[in-house]
Structure 1
Amino acid sequence: MPAKKRSRRNRVVVITLVLLVLGGLVGGAFWTVGTVRDSFPQTTGSVKIDGLSGTVEVKRDARGIPQIYAADAEDLFMAQGFVHAQDRFWEMDVRRHTTAGRLSELFGESQVRTDAFLRTLGWRHVAEEEYETELSEETRRNLQAYAEGVNAYLAQHGGSALSVEYAALGLVNKDYEPEPWTPVDSVAWLKAMAWDLRGNLKQEIDRALMSSRLDEEQIEDLYPEYPFDRNRPIVGEGAVDPVTGEFEPDAEPGTDTGDGTVPGGLPGGVRTQLGGLAESLDALPTLLGPNGSGIGSNSWVVSGTYTTSGEPMLANDPHLAPQLPSVWAQMGLHCTTVNQECPYDVSGFTFSGMPGVVIGHNQDIAWGMTNLGADVTDLYLEKIEDGAALHDGEMVPYETRTEVIEVAGGEDREITVRSTRNGPIVSDRDPQLGDVGGSAPVAGPAPDRGDGYAVSLRWTALTPSKTMDSVFALNRAGDFESFRAAAADFAAPSQNLVYADTEGNIGYQAPGLIPVRGKGDGRYPAPGWDADYAWDGYVEHSALPYEYNPERGYIVTANQAVIEGDEYPHLLTEDWSYGTRSQRIDDLIQSKIKDGGKISMDDMEKMQLDDSSEIAKLLVPHLLKIDIQDPYVREAQQLLEGWDYTQGADSAPAAYFNGVWRNLLVLAFGSKLPKELRVEGECLSVRPADDSGPLEDLDGTARTVRECGERSPATAQPDGGDRWFEVVRRLLDDPDNAWWSAPADGLESPVAEGRDEVLARAMKDARWELTTKLGKNIDTWSWGRLHSLLLRNQTLGTEGPDLVQRLLNRGPYELAGGKDAVNANGWNAAGGYSVTWVPSMRMVVSLADFDKSRWINLTGASGHAYHPNYVDQTELWARGELLPWAHSREAVEDAAQDTMALTP
């Protein structure tokens, strides 16, 4: 590094730390440049590690991405644990405290409620049972080796040498010392994955809460059926053989055997409980994605018939909550000689804290994942009395256990967790619960309400499984048969798995532990006292849909329906994403391959960046027909004339349209939804995080971290996702529908009545809203100014003192894309325009030559603030650029900048 630049960096760090001292945040701790750099990992030379059987090489490129080479599988995973700890141990430590419900040990009183809820779910208990009773000996050896690698690093480092966050934590929790890593710490992370990708629990609660203000028909208006006639499902053909019970891609469809029962209304007290439960869910840390709808992902694979290389190409970009550091860590794991004893030659995206590669490719196959969205959670109402729960007319004792929550700086808390045969009673964790009253439950004969109903949760991830076995099996798979066999153990979260191999084959498999229900369809809470509503096992893996070399030559998954419901006998879910992104990708592929065209790697990359707004294509023609008399509003309306519906960061039409869309949702739906669904209002004004002005980054670049100064009132507003696209689509041809009415508090008449009045009012409101945000001159408007991303370092970057946040956080970044665009830099219309989920990584794999594959991460390889690889991929990611992905030994050697030897 040039001396001048290094000097400027050191100067800025010293100035910043002086500000910390002056601000009274250091409290006597001596922070220096050395403190900040103390945790930067060693990447050259050699390090001795007890337990290795041979020397392991760790090669890093300019981005700090490690490629690990070992002659022994256990050495390989021990080295992976060591390197993950080098780069990301703070992140790993926080994650394991989260999954164990022990955040209060780190951060004190503020996390007690979260810990109590997580202890009630019992992730850690399930992970312990999974490790002891379900996983293979090979998987347990790999997990143990990984843990030993992490602990080898902990033995050599502590305090700020682990991460600068420990220096900050020491100011308020000086006695904290990280415990040794255990294999169960890694297994428990799978429960966090499953929770954040859990399916329709939020929709189940929302529908139940809506019953306080809406009738059944109105609720169903807001949850329309999937448009199979317009948006293609993943699997276009095939059925379950009625004799064997197995899915056959070439079989003729049968009939739907699912029970379509939709229960009726809820008693008021139950609505209170579910409202409190919704608040509890919102309060939980979102390790992978935002609570509720909005999580999505894209993946597609194209056969060599339609590619310029003549071999398959596979693309994947999972959409998750933005995190700093990114939830993903790029890495290669290579046996120096691939054989039965050491069968790994795999690279891709890993989770810090867990061995193996989650998404990527090995020497023979590539695979990607998107959330299948299967309905794997059900809420049950429970009649509880004197330590027992009503079940089929009898009071059956429920189980209890005591959990002690240790609180840093406070007194320990003791909670009692109750569980019925349906699952843990999650309503016990709602502090606002009072007596629960009301009339009949959702369905079936109702017991006397007595003291009310409790709410329990049945969830597949609370059943011990072999998902960790599946991760290693995917890493080793060499063909479609072994890939499907690996997928058979991928229990939770249920994912769409796409596949390609070097022999030219492509495929798809729907895996997961998916319940078979008695009565009910999982859309509303069920009566826990009625055995007819209990689960009756799980769908056999052999009955789950798959495809292999389909005739159309490509496969697209983007959270749409897996297969048409009337042609499949098992209920997967009724709450699919509505196929907006998947059909756009399908259309883009079709446009390239028509008339003999071929798809290149550049084409695959460009498809990932497609930011076309599908709802704009539907709605703008109607908006342009509205006769706007107000010249101020008319000026904004004219932005939409000739707009191509793309949502670039510099687009003024995109800014105005999304403002219209958001205000339309408020007018037509927001005021009609129950108060329990209200969310925090949008930010009306922004101020710096404190009065010290912009903070220079270590490279001398000025950046300002901002926070909200004033918010609008809370509203029960839709999030604006593609379910709402479908709702509005069905209303546009019915201009007098009752939904086209915008009530006004305190006024006899609505502010707008009928479709055209509501559309006109939405354009007016959007014009004024964007004027306050972007100024009067529409020529200066841009979508990116509204639609920005602030990367927040986990924990201290969200809850720490302002100056600590400014040290750790990065941004804002002005982004293109939008909600349910392929380039899904998503935003939640209920809370404003800021980016709330992102393509957390992007990859495009060439099966013709793995070294021509490309990848990018949201942030960087390092979790250490101010490390050169902290956010060195973010600007590239924001521009839609991908990096070369070296896999072969020769390509890795060419890209290597640092080499470190781990020795016995």
Structure 2
Amino acid sequence: MPANTTAPSGSSDAKTAGRKKGRRARLFVIVLVLALVAGVGFGAYWSVSTVRASYPQTTGSTELKGLTGDVDVKRDSYGIPQIYADTDSDLFRAQGFVQAQDRFWEMDVRRHMTSGRLSEMFGAGQVETDSFLRTLGWRKVAQEEYDTVLSEETKKNLRSYADGVNAYLEGKDGKDISVEYAALGLTNDYKPTKWTPVDSVAWLKAMAWDLRGNMQDEIDRSLMTSRLDAEQIKDLYPAYPEDHEPIVDQGGIDPVTGKFDPKAQPSGGIGSRTAEDATAGVNTQLSALSDTLDEIPALLGPNGTGIGSNSWVVSGKYTATGNPLLANDPHLAPQLPSLWYQMGLHCRKVSASCKYDTAGYTFSGMPGVIIGHNQNIAWGFTNLGADVTDLFLEKVSADGYQYDGRTEPFVSREETIKVAGGRSRKITVRETNNGPLLSDRSGELEKVGKKAPVINSAPDRGDGYAVALKWTALKAGHSMDAVFELNRAKDFTSFRKAAAHFEVPSQNLVYADTEGHIGYQAPGTIPVRLQGDGTLPSPGWSSKYGWEKEPIPFDELPYEYDPERGYIVTANQAVIDDDKYPNLLTKDWGYGARSQRINDLIESKIKGGGKISTDDMQQLQMDNHSAIAAELVPELLKIGISDKSVREAQKLLEGWDYTQESDSAAAAYFNGVWRNILKLAFGDKLPKEMRAKGDCVYVEPVTGTGPVDDQDKLVRECGQRAPDAAQPDGGDRWYEVVENILDDQDNDWWKVPAKGREAAIDSRDELFARAMGDARWELTAELGKDISTWSWGRLHQLTLRNQTLGKEGPSLLQRALNRGPWDLGGGEAAVNASGWNAAGGYEVVWVPSMRMVVNVGDWDKSRWINLTGASGHAFSAHYTDQTDKWVDGELLDWSYTADGVDGSTVDTLTLRKP
């Protein structure tokens, strides 16, 4: 089943048990098929033929319907394809064909996610997820974009791509496409259908959803009001640190032109905007919505939280090459296969009929290159984090919703969800002037107003409150146009023109070109609020709230071009100081731990008179420094510890340089202490709805006394669900929270009441001492009592799980499709951002999903790596053939020029005109 795709249904225990029984039966059949495919027992002969039938043809020639001329597909030793054609239509037709060869299962599941049709593939267990995604309406908006907004050239390219995918599918059964279809075919009668251009466009909506910004923070802050006062909430959401540099360090809105000018004097910061008492009495709905958000597919990252990225560009003035160097590593959820697909798209001769000569990272299922370079420019992305979503609380009745004292009718539509092996379901989606009612999809709403079944009776819920989502991505836009425009851009002017169309998701775009220029642009459709600052839900029943008709004009969004400092760093920090800029981008920036580390290291190199090399850029991507360790360890070492076993662990921190290498025992122990500091100081003080739901702790048995010296004596106590998003995750916001109270020994956050056999804690040092003891016990259970065997990597592991059939089920199924674990260094808010959630444990939950260093102008000396490999076929040599090198921080040579590609080619397939 796809990951995280079963939303709360509110159904009876009997129905739940029935679903589980059916799921177990399906999984049994799938496991049997995969055992055969893997060559287990008597099925070995059949398995080899089945596996090989789905592998792509990579040599010789084959006909491709619709081509106007021959196309060459050249693959290197890692299976990475470079495509050469003479027309745009042939180029994108071939791209669709080749991506379908390697990744069609992934593409097919992805389009079913984005259109809310997972139930067609996987059955009734996905109905609730489909219902939520239909309510969001990704596919509906994508259809509107294709029909009414996108340029004719973009639509032509999308059609060519779809034709290439369908040419690959023609005449093939499921087992000819991938092993997963062979397995799925024994559980239902699902068969792949033709690809459409809208299938490609819809993927950008999923990308926008997972990079949507602060929706969870809105919910969390609102829930906090039930237990915390305004000052306490402020403590947990501190101001952006003054010593962390924003991306753009000067400029403002020119008072004459009304446009952003990097050299203009600041025109004043944002004014005060508040939404008082907007959430009184509706925490039930918000808590339910939070649970629902946790359950829908996280296609790119952990549901909009913790998603970051690094990118930076250095002017040739400061590089060893004399040309700009550009680095990028987006941080996303680990996926197998990787979200990214490396590829080159080359016109043999760039002309009016064939406009592209570009290479980089693509999305399977979508034409063009997302991140990379062409013959003139290079570009990279990080998440800007703009606040592009607002939750509105609506007063509703069966007749409609309240707005300025009158009842307005809902805009409603009926959706039919087809279910593999079952009966179709119907849902009704209701919308207000602020967007669709997300709360209609939450089982908890049965507790509010009149009770009604979740799926079928939304219009009959009765009086009460509801929660609507206003989101910029629910309006048709031009982001697909921007992809092709970026691929064709020749200079900063055409780059900015393309960026103007990259409306959702809002991304930081860094830039470099062969003329030696570097730049930055903040694009995106970012709303202008009438009142409120986006940090809390707003009252939907009043016209005083809501958004202006037009968003912030593109000409007013910050940018830089050849800044005097000679480099630009974006790592999800603030774009520009609030006191220099009048428009509200967000109140919930990342807090800049990674960006400041990158800035400091680059500046140190430049001030020392050194030149930055490609190797330097690569090494910086692997920097494991822990900023919070540098703050806390000196204080931890001052604390007298009498318990011998805890003192033994404390000694690990003596002389530690705060780098989180995989083999570091000190890093393991410190991160254990950090996790326990957060649990003690903040965890139990959050409202009931927000406490961790899957946290595991290690405690002594009730009969035990004294220090724990035997891991077998520890008891593991675990919750039943994943940690709540609001629980302290250990990221750089929590760095700032703790640093702000670090010198206040008697701050209330350090105080913990007595509980059971545990004495009360009355000061910071008492809490730190308790955390050091708890961490010693926890790591003893995890790693053993001999601290000489401890290492951070043994705690901090990455397992790559196939995003569909590898997420649940018996171990044989998981062994067939999944890979790992790997021991990793790095950590949350390190430059080498192998993220973990302190509320749930140490497992890696997001990663640098790829890494690249572009040597601008001398393209063949660029380097790149993917998290997994080119292939989505589980038994292919290219399934995870880049992962070991990725773990070690290595990069592959990235050939781009015709000579470079020829030199690295091991297989050539010619696609011929019929």
SS at match of 2:67: coil
Per-residue CA deviation, residues 377-431 of structure 1 (Å, 9 max, x unaligned), is: 0000011123321111211111000011111122211110000010000000001
SS at match of 1:515: coil
SS at match of 1:779: helix
Q: CA contact under 8 A between 1:400 and 1:419: conserved in structure 2?
A: yes
* Closer, same or farther: CA 709–33 of 1 in aligned 2, 3 Å: farther
Q: CA contact under 8 A between 1:216 and 1:264: conserved in structure 2?
A: no
2:222 is matched with: 208
> How far apart, CA to CA, are the structure 1 residues paired with 2:125 and 2:337?
23
1:387 is matched with: 399
Which of 538, 545, 548 is matched with 2:551 structurally? 538
Q: CA contact under 8 A between 2:532 and 2:545: conserved in structure 1?
A: yes
Which of 641, 645, 658 is matched with 1:632 structurally? 645
> How far apart, CA to CA, are the structure 2 residues paired with 1:634 and 1:394?
68
1:440 is matched with: none
Q: CA contact under 8 A between 1:140 and 1:183: conserved in structure 2?
A: yes
SS at match of 2:122: helix
SS at match of 2:379: strand
Q: What pairs up with 1:24-423 in 2 under 5 angstroms?
A: 32-173=47-188, 175-227=189-241, 229-264=242-277, 266-268=279-281, 270-423=282-435
Per-residue CA deviation, residues 545-570 of structure 1 (Å, 9 max, x unaligned), is: 00000000000000000000121110
* Closer, same or farther: CA 339–217 of 1 in aligned 2, 3 Å: same
Per-residue CA deviation, residues 692-735 of structure 1 (Å, 9 max, x unaligned), is: xxxxxxxxxxxxxxxx9973577763111000000000010111
2:718 is matched with: 711
SS at match of 2:446: coil
SS at match of 1:432: helix
> How far apart, CA to CA, are the structure 1 residues paired with 2:616 and 2:524?
32
**Structure 2 alignment gaps of length 5 or more:** 1-30, 450-460, 699-714
Which of 874, 877, 882 is matched with 1:868 structurally? 877
Q: What pairs up with 1:726-805 in 2 under 5 angstroms?
A: 726-745=736-755, 751-805=760-814
Shift of 1:261: 1.2
1:902 is matched with: 911
Q: CA contact under 8 A between 1:297 and 1:317: conserved in structure 2?
A: yes
> How far apart, CA to CA, are the structure 2 residues paired with 1:80 and 1:814?
35
**Structure 1 alignment gaps of length 5 or more:** 1-15, 438-448, 686-707
The 10-residue stretch of structure 1 (724-733 or 669-678) with the greater mean CA deviation from structure 2: 669-678
Aligned length: 852
* Closer, same or farther: CA 164–24 of 1 in aligned 2, 3 Å: closer
> How far apart, CA to CA, are the structure 1 residues paired with 2:756 and 2:93?
67
SS at match of 2:431: strand
The 10-residue stretch of structure 1 (208-217 or 766-775) with the greater mean CA deviation from structure 2: 208-217
> How far apart, CA to CA, are the structure 1 residues paired with 2:774 and 2:339?
38
Q: CA contact under 8 A between 1:684 and 1:712: conserved in structure 2?
A: no
RMSD: 2.1
2:490 is matched with: 478
> How far apart, CA to CA, are the structure 1 residues paired with 2:679 and 2:560?
42
> How far apart, CA to CA, are the structure 2 residues paired with 1:171 and 1:744?
57
> How far apart, CA to CA, are the structure 1 residues paired with 2:572 and 2:100?
33
2:466 is matched with: 454
Shift of 1:161: 1.2
> How far apart, CA to CA, are the structure 2 residues paired with 1:19 and 1:250?
62
Per-residue CA deviation, residues 222-247 of structure 1 (Å, 9 max, x unaligned), is: 000101x2100000000011232210
2:614 is matched with: 601
> How far apart, CA to CA, are the structure 2 residues paired with 1:276 and 1:642?
47
Supply the AA of the counterpart residue of 2:239.
E
Query: Is 1:844 matched up with 2:853?
Result: yes
* Closer, same or farther: CA 22–485 of 1 in aligned 2, 3 Å: closer
> How far apart, CA to CA, are the structure 2 residues paired with 1:455 and 1:823?
38
1:664 is matched with: 677
1:497 is matched with: 509
SS at match of 2:385: coil
> How far apart, CA to CA, are the structure 1 residues paired with 2:774 and 2:397?
52
Q: CA contact under 8 A between 1:17 and 1:32: conserved in structure 2?
A: no
Q: CA contact under 8 A between 2:37 and 2:51: conserved in structure 1?
A: no
Supply the AA of the counterpart residue of 1:529.
W
Supply the AA of the counterpart residue of 1:460.
T
Q: CA contact under 8 A between 1:741 and 1:750: conserved in structure 2?
A: no
> How far apart, CA to CA, are the structure 2 residues paired with 1:265 and 1:778?
52
1:644 is matched with: 657
1:820 is matched with: 829
> How far apart, CA to CA, are the structure 1 residues paired with 2:34 and 2:579?
65
SS at match of 1:798: coil
The 10-residue stretch of structure 1 (153-162 or 509-518) with the greater mean CA deviation from structure 2: 153-162
Which of 414, 436, 450 is matched with 1:424 structurally? 436
Shift of 1:160: 1.5
> How far apart, CA to CA, are the structure 1 residues paired with 2:632 and 2:53?
55
2:3 is matched with: none
Supply the AA of the counterpart residue of 1:118.
L
2:603 is matched with: 590
Shift of 1:488: 0.1
* Closer, same or farther: CA 846–24 of 1 in aligned 2, 3 Å: closer
Q: What pairs up with 1:6-21 in 2 under 5 angstroms?
A: 20=35
Q: CA contact under 8 A between 1:818 and 1:824: conserved in structure 2?
A: yes
Shift of 1:870: 0.3
Shift of 1:110: 1.4
> How far apart, CA to CA, are the structure 1 residues paired with 2:270 and 2:291?
35
Shift of 1:339: 1.3
Q: CA contact under 8 A between 1:17 and 1:31: conserved in structure 2?
A: no
Which of 732, 737, 744 is matched with 1:722 structurally? 732
**TM-score normalised according to structure 2 size:** 0.91
> How far apart, CA to CA, are the structure 2 residues paired with 1:198 and 1:253?
28
SS at match of 1:104: helix
Shift of 1:848: 3.5
Per-residue CA deviation, residues 551-598 of structure 1 (Å, 9 max, x unaligned), is: 000000000000001211100000000000000000110111113211
Which of 522, 527, 538 is matched with 1:526 structurally? 538
> How far apart, CA to CA, are the structure 1 residues paired with 2:105 and 2:515?
42
Q: CA contact under 8 A between 1:862 and 1:869: conserved in structure 2?
A: yes
Supply the AA of the counterpart residue of 1:615.
I
> How far apart, CA to CA, are the structure 2 residues paired with 1:265 and 1:134?
35
Supply the AA of the counterpart residue of 1:296.
G
Query: Is 1:549 matched up with 2:562?
Result: yes
> How far apart, CA to CA, are the structure 2 residues paired with 1:247 and 1:767?
53
> How far apart, CA to CA, are the structure 2 residues paired with 1:663 and 1:104?
41
> How far apart, CA to CA, are the structure 1 residues paired with 2:522 and 2:588?
16
* Closer, same or farther: CA 642–112 of 1 in aligned 2, 3 Å: same
Q: CA contact under 8 A between 1:506 and 1:548: conserved in structure 2?
A: yes
Supply the AA of the counterpart residue of 2:80.
I
Q: CA contact under 8 A between 1:310 and 1:848: conserved in structure 2?
A: no
SS at match of 2:222: helix
> How far apart, CA to CA, are the structure 1 residues paired with 2:330 and 2:383?
8
Q: CA contact under 8 A between 2:308 and 2:382: conserved in structure 1?
A: yes
> How far apart, CA to CA, are the structure 2 residues paired with 1:645 and 1:331?
38
Supply the AA of the counterpart residue of 2:639.
I
Q: CA contact under 8 A between 2:312 and 2:326: conserved in structure 1?
A: yes
> How far apart, CA to CA, are the structure 2 residues paired with 1:481 and 1:768?
59
Shift of 1:31: 5.0
Q: CA contact under 8 A between 1:211 and 1:265: conserved in structure 2?
A: no
Supply the AA of the counterpart residue of 1:586.
N
> How far apart, CA to CA, are the structure 1 residues paired with 2:137 and 2:504?
15
